[in-house]
Amino acid sequence: MGIRILKPGLLSTVQDTGRYGHQKSGMVVSGAMDTLALKIGNMLLGNALAEAALECTLSGPELIFERDQLIAITGGNLSPQIDGVPLTMWKPVYVREGAKLSFGKATSGCRTYLSVYRGFDVPEVLGSKSTYLRGGMGGWEGRALKKDDFIPFNAIYQGQHKFDWSAGKYLYPDLSNHKVRVIEGPEFGHFTAESIAAFFSQPFAISNEADRMGYRLTGQTLQRHETKEMLSAAVTFGTIQVPAQGVPIVLMADHQTTGGYPRIAQVISADLTLLAQMQPGREITFELITLEEAQALLLAQEQQMNQLRQTITLKYG
């Protein structure tokens, strides 16, 4: 009982909310690039928020359901279809045995999430089902999915078949927005006034050197007052480092645990979804806000998520 992969798509991996508690030993967190979409997908099915789903990038997979199942698709819109019929996102969808799920053109964003009732039956590694590609661990055999892979379900859904409601999309950011909010990084003051001004006034583009580890940007080069060596220091999802050549790198879900480049800024948690859904070639502008503002935005998002969970619980009765 599970799904069989007919075509793997560009990059399809099993991801949950991440592998926490091991960074002190050098183990990266990994997890979904867009945890908001992942969590909403799990909410729609009554799953635990951290349950694993399939993360599909730019070109989604084609797969067959070998048992009836309840699914939800959230995140970027990669034009999902069931047996050639467009599938509505952001709601529970009952899928019958033998149905084929496929994807088409990316109309918004670049990462979509396929959640299934009670998740996928893959082993946990250090407390997480997330795939860490560079380490070859977690998920399905520590790698991206391939043709003929069979991913089993944890459980078979046996409840209602029709759902006349959808939920959660109102929590999702406008993916056409190009402005990403940041707070000052620890080495913010190491950069010249001209570079600081350029960082917030000039657009940067996501280069083709963009993956789950980080996005290398192109645009204005940034200069420090002094180009002295730094000791390695902690970094996290959304940390913006500036190597010696002066072109920023935004660290993403598979980021290393420490880095030796100055950290000019940190993308706020509430904007990580927007960043995760940006394709190579997309322009970004940065807006500076305070730590207090960033905390308030995250708290508001968490409150909305709690309200959504309560609403969905009532719909299931």
291, two tokens: 């730590």
What does the alpha-carbon distance between residue 308 and residue 105 come to, in Å, rounded to a whole number? 29
Of the pLDDT bands very low, low, confident and very high (cuts 50, 70, 90), residue 1 is confident
User: What are the tens digits of pLDDT across the range 21-63?
Assistant: 887 777 888 999 999 999 999 999 999 999 999 999 999 999 9
pLDDT for position 317? 66
What does the alpha-carbon distance between residue 251 and residue 235 come to, in Å, rounded to a whole number? 8
For residues 260 and 283, the answer to whether their CB atoms sit within 8 Å is: no
For residues 152 and 117, the answer to whether their CB atoms sit within 8 Å is: no
What does the alpha-carbon distance between residue 65 and residue 157 come to, in Å, rounded to a whole number? 13
Average per-residue pLDDT for the chain? 93
Q: Which of 106, 77, 100, 102 is nearest to 90 (CA)?
A: 77
Q: Which residues pair with 81 in a beta bridge?
A: 86, 102
Cβ-based neighbours of 193, under 8 Å, separated by 6 or more: none
User: What are the tens digits of pLDDT across the range 95-115?
Assistant: 999 999 999 989 999 999 999
Which residue type occupies 247? V
User: What are the tens digits of pLDDT across the range 157-215?
Assistant: 888 888 888 888 889 999 988 999 999 999 999 999 999 999 999 999 999 999 999 99
Of the pLDDT bands very low, low, confident and very high (cuts 50, 70, 90), residue 133 is very high
Q: Which residues pair with 153 in a beta bridge?
A: 120
E-state strands within 39-172: 53-57, 62-65, 69-77, 81-82, 85-86, 93-95, 100-102, 108-116, 150-152
Angle, to 10 degrees, between the axis of helix 35-45 and the axis of helix 291-316? 20
| Domain ranges for the chain | 2-172, 179-296
For residues 93 and 71, the answer to whether their CB atoms sit within 8 Å is: yes
pLDDT for position 27? 81
pLDDT for position 26? 74
User: What are the tens digits of pLDDT across the range 288-310?
Assistant: 999 999 999 999 999 999 999 99
Give the burial string for 36-75 (b: 16+ CB within 10 Å, else e): bbbbbbbbbbbbeebbbbbbbbbbbbebebbebbbbbbbb
* Secondary element (H or E) of residue 300: helix 291-316
User: What are the tens digits of pLDDT across the range 220-260?
Assistant: 999 999 877 778 888 999 999 999 899 999 999 999 888 88
Domain 179-296 - what CATH class?
A: mainly beta
